[in-house]
Structure 1
């Protein structure tokens, strides 16, 4: 057997013995510092002239701190500067191993270019080769473990593989010791907490409940009062989920099965023992109760606060709507003026027999186009016309931003203010209520508009007001920025901007609720509204978490308004229900022209009678009607035939979203008035088309 083979075998035996001894040390370790020192001593006793362990530090310099060392060349480390930064002191084996997470072998200190800054000192201390091994995995790198030898080429692949086992075991050992230390610390805190919590909770004004695995173990007097318990109806022994309203039960069950760490504050809808619901904030944390793990819940009834907040929100909406009124009247008068001019001009030429077929088609197309423009403006007024009770859904934040800009942009033009809108091409899905985000956007845009308009006289003659709105995706969040080039906000006012009733406007203009309510709405969506940095003017930044897992609403089939479709079947029977006779007759005339058989009813009761005598293939109904409204009719029709195609046509503000949320699916569509006949006709065609 050759000398090289014997040498290689000795090195392998040495590394294997080192691995065994360090593993034994890890199993016996109870202190991190002692463990590091013992690992280095074992390395020195195994024949290495130097073994040391360095921890990776934070900060711009990224220093490597020597934690332990051993060996005849240990003094080599005195005064040594090592980092894991991308600078000359971080280009050695230690820095490279920490940065890359891979071992770095110095085959010969005299020839390795990365070892040049330390070569002379290493030669004085008598070592020629070495290896640096990362300690920790991924982003959790703790530092590095280094071995040095007096001869070159002492760390081949097999030896490095053995030593990597030492480094990995050391990583797990350090993690285990730290975890054990945290556990012991928490255990001490929980023990102390258990000793004193009773004296605190019994006097607390908030309801406090302790449960173990979902069963109530303890309730203070405030909890007994809050949930309406008594000596006959006790809280202890009941299931926590019995006190949770069905609307919040899924979320509560998820947290019950997998309690998150730390103190978690959530909003829930709860139930008293008599079944009365109430809104509550629930602060939850883990404790030890009678020696067993449990969860402590602090419950605060916020029903009154919720009602006050809703009132404030509605007040802010109405205040904003009042400020927008003049602009909205102007926006609506424009398309209405075009409609009237086109209609009266066409009638005059028709009476004089001067209107060609092409001219009439153009005028009617213009009227239809302006009706669509009017409908869009009316649709946007929904944001401020009603209380928002829509359920929390996933929606596209970019569409909400665009909608808010479009409804206000026309009001900026008379004041010479331009809006620069920059939105991404893809969707920005967030969870919440779209109307509330639009309300926030419109409030911020209105504030920018007022600031620019009021400061115009103090600006240079060539100055023009500008508002920039951009939405971008930032990792797992959405960032919406609204900038203007106005006078900005004085530093003295910035700390108070989001306080209720604080306003920078003169008396009689503004309630001081806009920014406060806006901040509350964004926070309720688990986001943040803050004042941004801007060299000129004011800047506000909305940050919202992306929701990439929940599915958004299923869109209706793609329709083309204005194109008259052909009837699928001439035998198809359509029932039109509308208390406005002119609208019903016009719609019926259009459908008959397409070849359908059409019946007309003016009330829900009349419609149900006609349907009972002659069932229709498709029902088109209004919502608000005397003698049986549309919602009652739809419920009866669904009970009769769950697959019956239904088209709901409504102009009632607020009802559109409510009905859409409850009824809209692939067999029921909700359209807002004014409706394009071509769009409605194509939707009927889609509903009557046989399934593929």
Structure 2
């Protein structure tokens, strides 16, 4: 978030507080106003004047709150697009690699086709591999298009942690690989296939935000790593992102989910990602929290399991 946007937000917040104080003062002022002007106004007239002033201030307050919400939504979208922009180079590599493989297969097919006796087995193999590679490229492009859109009006659907992780990793994996960061998933857990009922795109956006935060926290570590894993109890599924970073100090832990709070360098974060992500999780009947019981930094997406409550 740049300085101008930061100042605008805090100006709106201060304006909201100012209007609230005005409302209280006006309410407290009613009796004094009546006593002072008792000779000129009736109680009814005094109350009518104050009521009109209060209504006007409430309209101003509602407008300020609405503008604040709109600006917050704009900054969240800006933050999301910024994150997607950072991944663009990685996605280019992710697509270029299979494209190179695809071109190689086409070259081999062309050579094979010029032979007097082309091998049908070789041709079938290369066609199958070409199709597989093309589907991989299509998956990356569709994933980026899907994850970058506004999904606030999407209906909830049945999904799994495996699907959520797949959507996020499709457009994040190469960024970590290109920077020498080990990115792994705990495939040994049965809960990867447990079902949840949620807004799939928004949950993937939350996961991408957690991955980006982990990336920023560890990119200067000597042996950086990020792990996505899951566990569950009878009622809830927990999808976790942990990393090898230096951890979060005690003072910052209490402010992590406050709007505009960030531990990142100036220009690297809006301070809205965790706050908005927590709100999205709660809309799904879940939550987002820091697991303080673990030595490493670990954020947890908590979602109600489908059909067990």
Report if TM-score (shorter chain) is over 0.5: yes
Structure-to-structure mapping, 1:102-121, within 5 angstroms? none
Alignment pair present for 1:408 and 2:172: yes
Q: Please give the alpha-carbon distance, in whole angstroms, between the structure 2 residues aligned to 1:507 and 1:532.
A: 26
Q: CA deviation at 1:502?
A: 3.1
More strand per residue: 1
- Which one has a bigger Cα radius of gyration? 1
Q: CA deviation at 1:306?
A: 4.3
Alignment pair present for 1:360 and 2:123: yes
Structure-to-structure mapping, 1:234-633, within 5 angstroms? 303-353=66-116, 355-398=118-161, 399-414=163-178, 415-422=180-187, 423=189, 424=191, 426-431=193-198, 433-456=199-222, 464-548=223-307
Q: Please give the alpha-carbon distance, in whole angstroms, between the structure 2 residues aligned to 1:389 and 1:490.
A: 33
Which deviations, in whole Å up to 9, do the C-alpha atoms of 1:318-357 show, x marking residues without a partner? 0110111111111111111111111123213323546322
Q: Please give the alpha-carbon distance, in whole angstroms, between the structure 1 residues aligned to 2:185 and 2:290.
A: 19
Q: CA deviation at 1:305?
A: 4.5
Structure-to-structure mapping, 1:21-40, within 5 angstroms? none
Q: Please give the alpha-carbon distance, in whole angstroms, between the structure 1 residues aligned to 2:160 and 2:53.
A: 41
Q: State the structure with bigger RCO (CA 8 A, min sep 6), 1 or 2.
A: 2
CA contact (8 A) 2:288 2:302 kept: yes
Q: Please give the alpha-carbon distance, in whole angstroms, between the structure 2 residues aligned to 1:345 and 1:374.
A: 20
- Cα separation, partners in 2 of 1:303 and 1:503, compared to 1, 3 Å: closer
Q: CA deviation at 1:419?
A: 1.0
CA contact (8 A) 1:321 1:384 kept: no
Q: Please name the residue that 1:251 is paired with.
A: none
Q: What is the total number of aligned residue pairs between the two structures?
A: 257
Q: TM-score, normalised by structure 2?
A: 0.70
Q: Please name the residue that 2:35 is paired with.
A: none
Q: CA deviation at 1:408?
A: 2.3
Q: CA deviation at 1:513?
A: 2.8
- Cα separation, partners in 2 of 1:405 and 1:223, compared to 1, 3 Å: farther
Q: CA RMSD in A?
A: 3.5
5+ residue gaps in structure 2? 1-23, 29-50, 57-61
More helix per residue: 2
Structure-to-structure mapping, 1:152-301, within 5 angstroms? none
Q: Please give the alpha-carbon distance, in whole angstroms, between the structure 2 residues aligned to 1:223 and 1:436.
A: 39
CA contact (8 A) 2:196 2:303 kept: no
Partner SS state of residue 430, structure 1? strand
5+ residue gaps in structure 1? 1-199, 205-219, 226-299, 457-463, 551-692
Which deviations, in whole Å up to 9, do the C-alpha atoms of 1:16-38 show, x marking residues without a partner? xxxxxxxxxxxxxxxxxxxxxxx
Q: TM-score, normalised by structure 1?
A: 0.34
